[in-house]
Amino acid sequence: MLKNYDIAILGAGPAGIMAGLSARKIDKNAKICIVDSNNNIASKLRLTGGGRCNFTNNKDISVFFDNVVRNSKFLYSALYSFSNEDLKTFIKASGLEYIVEDDNDDKVYLKSGKSMDLIEVLNLQLRNSGIDFIGKTKIKELDLKSRKIFSDDLIIEANTIIIASGACSYPQTGSDGSIMKLLSNKGYNIIKPVSALAPMDIKESWVKDIPGISLQNIQIKVLKLGVKNKSGVKSNSQNVKHKKVAELFGDIVFTHKGIGGPAALKASSYINRDISGSSLELDFIPYINREALLDMVKSNPKKTIPSNLKELFPNNFLKRILEKCNDESEGQFDFLNDYSANLSNKNFEILYESLKGAKITPTALADLERATITSGGIDVKNINSSTLESNIDPNIYFAGELIDIDALTGGYNLQIAFSTGYLAGVSAAENLKNS
């Protein structure tokens, strides 16, 4: 079967949907379709924010760039063309309410706490806009020169194609990376897809001995262990100064393999291309300085350290940390049972480093199938950042996670999807009207 469209959009996620809606605003008469391998739109959107739909962040749009890990400058036109304020206005105009969680990194959620509410609204807007949804259609081949899209039983010819097919994370939602392979064969440079915002495995055994324990508001410093010498070879000598590449705050949870939780997921996005050359330094009480910690440890000299610090940490966590301190003190002081009055300066340093400078070694990240998002994709050098049109093939546009851009948790990635979708849709429709 052959179908003809003015604009064909590949992918019915937030980027593809917004591309269709923004294109329709520019051109009321264009024939537009969205093609997806699923039977329904926005499969991955259902999962965002634990199903509550953390669709953006309330910080000023200028701050968003600080939370983009890869290629932040590329997003300037997209984020300013359709900012977080624009997205919030869009949500309200669609009949939905939202809430801002000031105590949760300024994340913005649907007030109902149900992602399906937004999906239903988007579905209705697509229908009312006269945009065809072609579901259960797996793309098998692309001819970008003649702008033809091939599936097993359908050929779509279009004047313009917007590719917003997602990346590789959560392949059960349809984002399986297959379009990247097709584009690679068409001359596009694909930056290797790797996990981002993913739980990580940790080498140190003590971390894995307390699964299920969670800590709030900790600090993670991401360190690169080696630097390149003049010959270009990395050195991991102890004499090499470690470079801090990120300083993050948030919650973590210990697992059987390592750590997860928001702060750990953020850290993963900075080490995913050089895990063996990275380490993490954890401060479990960043709001307490050295002097204050010493005062707390010795607040009751006739009590043990666990008694004096019991208000700060979960029991099992504190017990395991103090056991670790015992190993390092080599029997000089029993951190679990001796009176705090007997704690020497040397042994306080052991405790201090364990609580405010614990160094751990990542060994692996959860695979792409379990990662929140994908890092990598279409090289931004192949795309005009002002319009999101291909630099290789005219009338081909890109949007969403397929592009080599990724950000930290907090609603930033979903905002990027909507923003790039908006810009691609507007650019494609304006180009179509002017041609």
State the maximum Cα–Cα separation within the chain, in Å, rounded to a whole number.
84
pLDDT at 229: 47
Residues 29 and 134 in one domain: yes
Residues 332 and 390 in one domain: no
Residues 77 and 158 in one domain: yes
pLDDT band at 239, cuts 50/70/90?
low
Task: Output the domain CATH number for residue 75.
Answer: 3.50.50.60
Residues 170 and 28 in one domain: yes
Percent of the chain topping pLDDT 90: 90
Residue ranges making up the domain that contains 53:
2-186+371-434
Q: Is residue 47 part of a domain?
A: yes
Domain boundary residue among 309, 333, 365?
365
Measure Cα distances from 217 to 64, 265, 346, 358 in Å: 21, 14, 27, 15
Q: Kindly report whether the global pTM for this prediction surpasses the value 0.75.
A: yes
pLDDT at 234: 53
Q: Is residue 193 part of a domain?
A: no
Q: What's the mean pLDDT when you consider all of the chain?
A: 94
Q: Is residue 12 part of a domain?
A: yes
Tokens of 7: 């604009």
Residues 32 and 148 in one domain: yes
Domain boundary residue among 365, 388, 408?
365
Residues 225 and 129 in one domain: no
pLDDT in tens, 14-37: 999 999 999 999 999 999 999 999
Mode of pairing for the β-strands spanning 200-202 and 258-260? antiparallel
Q: Is residue 194 part of a domain?
A: no
Angle at 89 between CA 385 and CA 73, to 5 degrees: 20
Q: Is residue 114 part of a domain?
A: yes
Measured CA to CA, the distance from residue 335 to residue 330 in angstroms comes to 11
Other C-beta atoms closer than 10 Å to the C-beta of 232 total 6
Q: Is residue 43 part of a domain?
A: yes
State the Cα torsion 35-39-41-43 to the nearest 10°. -120
Helices (H) and strands (E) in the chain, counts: 13, 23
245 and 270 Cβ atoms separated by less than 8 Å: yes
Q: Is residue 195 part of a domain?
A: no
Residues 344 and 400 in one domain: no
Tokens of 319: 């017990």
- Mean pLDDT over residues 222-241, rounded? 60
Q: Is residue 229 part of a domain?
A: yes
Residues 88 and 20 in one domain: yes
Tokens of 76: 């300037």
Residues 109 and 250 in one domain: no
Domain boundary residue among 337, 365, 393?
365
Q: Which of 45-54, 254-263, 274-283, 352-361 has the lowest mean pLDDT?
A: 45-54
252 and 267 Cβ atoms separated by less than 8 Å: no
Residues 47 and 6 in one domain: yes
pLDDT in tens, 195-212: 999 999 999 999 999 999
Q: How many structural domains does the chain have?
A: 2
Residues 253 and 170 in one domain: no
Measured CA to CA, the distance from residue 380 to residue 398 in angstroms comes to 10
Residues 344 and 264 in one domain: yes
Q: What is the enclosing helix (H) or strand (E) of 7?
A: strand 2-10
